[in-house]
Amino acid sequence: MLLKTVFVRLLTTAITLFGVAIVVFVLVRVAPGNPIAMMLPPGATEKDIAALNAVYGFDKSLAEQFIIWLGGVLHGDFGTSITLRQPVAELVLGRLPATLELSSIALLLAVALGGCVAVIGARKRGTGTEVGLDLTSGAVLSVPDFLWGLIFVLVFGVLWPVLSISGRVDPRIDIDFTTNFYIFEGLLRGRLDVVGSTLSHMLMPAMSLALPLAAMIAQLLKQNLKEALTQDYTTLARVRGFSETAVILREALRNAALPTLALVGVQFTFLIGGTVIVERLFAFEGLGNMAIDAVINRDLPLIQGIVLLFAALFTVINLLVDLSYTFLNPRLRHG
């Protein structure tokens, strides 16, 4: 049952990615801006342009170019970056860990923060505390992630400079890791200096990404908790002597988490989308920052590689959300 689900999802994922590949391939080529023109000095002749076009294969028809590129992709060759002159796969996979760590930490922060606020709100339902929390989360929700980034830079980078506002890690630290997962590998190797520096650099961008999602989780989870707290099984738990907090945590939370999870999955993909601007803001060396450079430089192979990777990431996350949904809800487990 579960295996079949996974298989079907992998198949639809492949189809989705193929569609994304076509769209992005065509789009970057019909959009104004030409990478070749940007590479040549002013005053280059038509002949110069045509010659360089031929070097990169841009003289061929769109369909031909696509087939050549797709053939490479199927062999794991995503082409070569025009500006950085390195294999796209290498560049993109080198940056992926930074973005994965950033968005995972942001997700953790959002769930922890939003979860706590939701539980407190449900515990204090019907009081001024609940109203206060509702108003606060409403306000937090209405400020987008990049604006939070700017606010943080202003407060903790300029007015009260306690946190570093750029980069992923202190450049003075010598890092000889095999992967680019600084937090993960740092923990495994016991290099707490790397972990600490990475986390302190990550705090502001992660908080910027986490706050809107945290507010959303706080509101939705609280609503679902309040719903669960009117159910008979919670009443029975109260009769059996459990305190209201125990009833919320032990009886209501897992039931309320189910509908919340569906939203978190969707919103997490938006959060990853948000890394593009937020990484730029904090000069964080991740995929998003690279994506902006690639777009500015019209680095077509690199744009394609990054977009494809983002698309793959989104589908994997959706799959994980669906699987965890099955795991959390016993009624779905036996199908």
Partner 1 sequence: MTMTTAHAHTLDIINLNIALPRGQRLLRNVSLQLEPGEVRALVGESGAGKSMIGKAVLGILPHRIKRTEGEILLEGAHLNAMTPATRRSTVAKMSALIPQDPLTALNPVRKIGPQITDPLTRIHGWSHQRALARARELLDRVHIRAPDRVMHSYPHELSGGMRQRILIAAAFAPSPRLIVADEPTTALDVTVQKQILRLIRELQRETGTAVLFVTHDMGVVAKISQKVTVLFAGRVIEDAATRTVFENPAHPYTQALIAATPTPNVSAEPFQPVPAALITELHRETLAADALYAQRGRR
Per CB under 8 A, residues contacting partner 1 are 126, 231-233, 235-243, 246, 250-251, 254-255, 258, 328-331, 334
Residue for token digits 């400020």?
Answer: 143
- Tell the smallest beta-carbon distance from residue 149 to partner 1 (Å): 38
- Tell the smallest beta-carbon distance from residue 289 to partner 1 (Å): 41
- Tell the smallest beta-carbon distance from residue 256 to partner 1 (Å): 10
- Kindly tell me which of 4 and 240 has the beta carbon lying closer to partner 1: 240
- Tell the smallest beta-carbon distance from residue 111 to partner 1 (Å): 18
CA distance 252 to 264: 18
Q: Give the Cα-Cα-Cα angle 241, 253, 230 (nearest 5 degrees).
A: 65
- Tell the smallest beta-carbon distance from residue 2 to partner 1 (Å): 17
Maximum CA pair distance of the chain? 86
- Kindly tell me which of 208 and 224 has the beta carbon lying closer to partner 1: 224
- Kindly tell me which of 9 and 238 has the beta carbon lying closer to partner 1: 238
- Kindly tell me which of 17 and 258 has the beta carbon lying closer to partner 1: 258
- Kindly tell me which of 39 and 328 has the beta carbon lying closer to partner 1: 328
R_g over Cα of the chain: 24
Compute CA 19 distance to the chain's CA centroid, rounded to the nearest angstrom. Answer: 21
Q: Are 125 and 117 in contact (CB under 8 A)?
A: no
- Kindly tell me which of 86 and 231 has the beta carbon lying closer to partner 1: 231
Q: Are 282 and 149 in contact (CB under 8 A)?
A: yes
- Main-chain dihedrals φ then ψ at residue 160, nearest 5 degrees: -135, 80
- Tell the smallest beta-carbon distance from residue 136 to partner 1 (Å): 24
- Tell the smallest beta-carbon distance from residue 119 to partner 1 (Å): 17
- Kindly tell me which of 27 and 332 has the beta carbon lying closer to partner 1: 332
Q: Which two tokens stand for residue 56?
A: 């990169």
Q: Terminus-to-terminus CA distance in the chain, angstroms?
A: 7
- Main-chain dihedrals φ then ψ at residue 208, nearest 5 degrees: -60, -45
- Residue 299 gets the label, from left (phi > 0), alpha (psi -120 to 50) or beta, of beta
Residues 6+ apart with CB under 8 A from 266: none
